[in-house]
């Protein structure tokens, strides 16, 4: 009986749970990507449509693997992906992400750092759409659904926000053209995405916000996202000037105004969460 109790404690220990969840999730995603690539290569579809379908397949697999893992591991209903409130959270997250990124670009435009060169056909947004859609789901499940949520259960909302946001920022330091300042900017964005999860208590809001932020930046305004190469976009833009305002080679999300806008949105969401008693205290204060 004692051995069983010890095993249960180890099995339910937060670090154990996080490691097993990450390993299971990444295995599903990586294998799913390989299967999707091989199967879609057999079709006559163009690259853009193959990438879009691959993104949809991998995203669906990511969500399914998360639900199945925690449903069986934690023996509970996985409310993070509840259908109730789905449309409202998706719409709200998309609007917040679009507005924040548009304000960031607006500051650049008013400062003379951003100009429109041309407008492409709508088909040019397919690649950034697929990329932004897939990345948002995978990163939000990893950082908010697994790391943040499990740590929050023991250490409370604020410590978990700090830990998950720092991890989120650190992960982006390996991106091309990143530096300490861009890492700090992404860390603040991590606080915002964590606050979105706290307020909504599901992953749909941060996923939609994350998606809209990246897609608006690269797919609509034609800017670089997180230091990666430019993709096709609706608007062909010219960005030049001070790195502090443009984000330089890392992209607008590495700018001072993007950081300030994200910080303001974070404070608002946390204030609303406080008002609605959604902040979780650490175990020693319960």
Q: CA 48, CA 50: separation in Å to the nearest integer?
A: 5
Alpha-carbon distance values, 128 to 217, 218, 230, 278 (Å) = 9, 6, 9, 34
Q: CA 279, CA 104: separation in Å to the nearest integer?
A: 29
Q: What is the pTM of this model?
A: 0.93
Over its C-alpha atoms, the chain yields an Rg (Å, rounded) of 20
Q: Comparing C-alpha atoms, which of 85, 44, 116 is closest to residue 203?
A: 85
Helices 14-41 and 2-12, packing angle to 10 deg: 60
Start-to-end CA distance of the chain, whole Å, equals: 29
- pLDDT tens for the chain, residues 1 to 286: 445 577 777 888 889 999 999 999 999 999 999 999 899 888 888 887 888 888 889 999 999 999 999 999 999 999 999 998 899 999 999 999 999 999 999 999 999 999 999 999 988 888 888 889 899 999 999 999 999 999 999 999 999 999 999 999 999 998 999 999 999 999 999 999 999 999 999 999 999 999 999 999 999 999 998 888 888 899 999 999 999 999 999 999 999 999 999 999 999 999 999 999 999 999 888 7
CB atoms within 10 A of CB 25: 20
Q: CA 223, CA 248: separation in Å to the nearest integer?
A: 10
Token pair, residue 11, equals: 């099995």
């Amino acid at each position: 009986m004692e051995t069983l109790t010890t095993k249960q404690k180890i099995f339910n220990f937060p670090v154990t749970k996080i490691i097993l969840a990450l390993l299971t999730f990444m295995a599903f995603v990586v294998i799913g990507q390989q299967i999707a690539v091989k199967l879609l290569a057999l079709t006559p579809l163009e690259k853009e449509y193959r990438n879009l379908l691959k993104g949809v397949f991998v995203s669906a697999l990511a969500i399914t693997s998360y639900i199945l893992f925690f449903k069986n591991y934690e023996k509970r209903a996985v409310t993070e992906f509840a259908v109730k409130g789905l449309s409202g959270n998706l719409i709200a997250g998309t609007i917040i992400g679009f507005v924040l990124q548009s304000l960031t670009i607006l500051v650049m435009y008013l400062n003379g750092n951003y100009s429109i060169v041309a407008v492409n056909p709508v088909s040019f947004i397919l690649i950034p759409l697929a990329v932004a859609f897939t990345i948002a789901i995978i990163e939000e499940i990893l950082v908010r659904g697994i790391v943040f949520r499990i740590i929050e259960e023991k250490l409370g909302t604020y410590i978990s926000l700090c830990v998950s946001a720092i991890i989120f920022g650190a992960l982006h330091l390996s991106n091309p053209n990143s530096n300490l300042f861009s890492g700090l900017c992404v860390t603040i964005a991590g606080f915002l995405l964590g606050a979105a999860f706290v307020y909504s208590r599901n992953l749909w809001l941060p996923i939609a916000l994350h998606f809209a932020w990246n897609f608006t930046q690269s797919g609509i305004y034609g800017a670089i996202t997180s230091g990666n190469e430019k993709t096709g976009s609706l608007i062909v833009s010219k960005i030049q000037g001070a790195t502090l305002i443009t984000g330089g080679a890392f992209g607008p999300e590495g700018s001072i105004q993007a950081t300030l806008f994200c910080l303001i949105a974070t404070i608002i969401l946390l204030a609303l969460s406080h008002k609605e008693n959604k902040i979780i205290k650490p175990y020693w204060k319960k």
